[in-house]
Amino acid sequence: MSTSRHQPTAPTRLHRLAGGARIDLHRHDDHQIIYAATGVLSVATDRGTWIAPATRAIWVPAGVPHEHRAYGQTDLHLVGLAAADNPLNLDTPAVLSVGPLLRELIVAYTADPSDGSPQRARVRAVMLDQLRQSPQQPLRLPTAQDQRLAAICAALDAEPADNRTLAALGAQVGASERTLSRLFRTEFAMTFPQWRTQLRLHHALVLLAEGHAVTTVAHRCGWATASTFIDVFRHAFGHTPGRNR
C-alpha cells in the first residue's frame, strides 16, 4: 500500500458516502470504531480486508494505516477513542457484532460530536460497555505473502464462482494441494474451504449492497442454489441476505 496520510485525531462523526466512494489510505493516533448503519463498508490494510454490513462494526487500532470503500449508499458512523482508551484490548483490526442496543448508542453518540452534555457522556459510557461485550466475527480476507497463494487468491477474487478444487488451482501455479493446504493454514489460519466461504460472503455483501437479487448473488458467488446461500449467510450474519438489500 502507498504511504498513508497522518491524521492525529480520529474523528467522531456521521459521514455519508455514495456507493463506490473511497477514503484514501490514512492513519490516526487514536483508535477508531467504524460502523455503516446503511450500505456495506470494507476497510483494507496491508494485512487484509475486513468487511461489515449493518450488523457489524470494524475496529481499527491507533496507528494502523487503512483505507475505506463504501458499497451502496452508506451512512458511516465514526467513533474516535484516545489511544489509552482501548475497551477491546485489541492491537489489530477486527469485526465486531453490533446488536440493536449498540447500534442505537453509536448512532446517538455520533449525531452531534460538539455535544458535551452529561447525557452524551453517559451514552458513551454505555456504548463502551457494550463494545467490551461484542464478540469478534471472522470476516477478514488476509493478504497472502506466498506468491503461489496470492495468485490463487487473486484468481478466485476475480471469479468467486470458480469451483475448481485446490489441486486443480495448484496445477495452475505449480504447487501441490498439500503445499497449498499448508499455506492456507499457516498464513491465514483457515482451511481453503473456510477461506473460499469468506471470499464468497465478502462478494455477496458487496453485490447485495449494490441492489442485486438474492438468486443472482448466489449464482455469481458460486453457491449451487439460493437456499444454500441463504443458509450460509444466515449462519455467518444471523439474518437472511434479503435484509442487506
- Predicted confidence (pLDDT) per residue in 154-178, tens digit: 999 999 999 999 999 999 999 999 9
- List the chain pLDDT tens, one digit each, 245 residues: 556 677 666 678 888 888 888 889 998 999 999 999 988 889 999 889 998 888 889 999 999 999 989 988 888 899 998 888 787 888 888 888 899 999 999 999 999 888 889 999 999 999 999 988 887 776 788 999 999 999 999 999 999 999 999 999 999 999 999 999 999 999 999 999 999 999 999 999 999 988 899 999 999 999 999 999 999 999 888 888 876 55
Is the distance from CB of 20 to CB of 70 less than 8 angstroms?
Answer: yes
Compute CA distances 153 → 117, 192, 234, whole Å. 49, 10, 24
pTM for the complete prediction? Answer: 0.81
| Closest to 41 measured CA to CA, from 28, 26, 52 | 52
List of domains in the chain: 5-137 (2.60.120.10), 144-244 (1.10.10.60)
Cell numbers 458535551 correspond to what residue? 116
CA distance 240 to 29: 37
Helices of type H across the chain: 100-110, 118-132, 147-158, 166-173, 177-188, 192-209, 214-221, 226-237
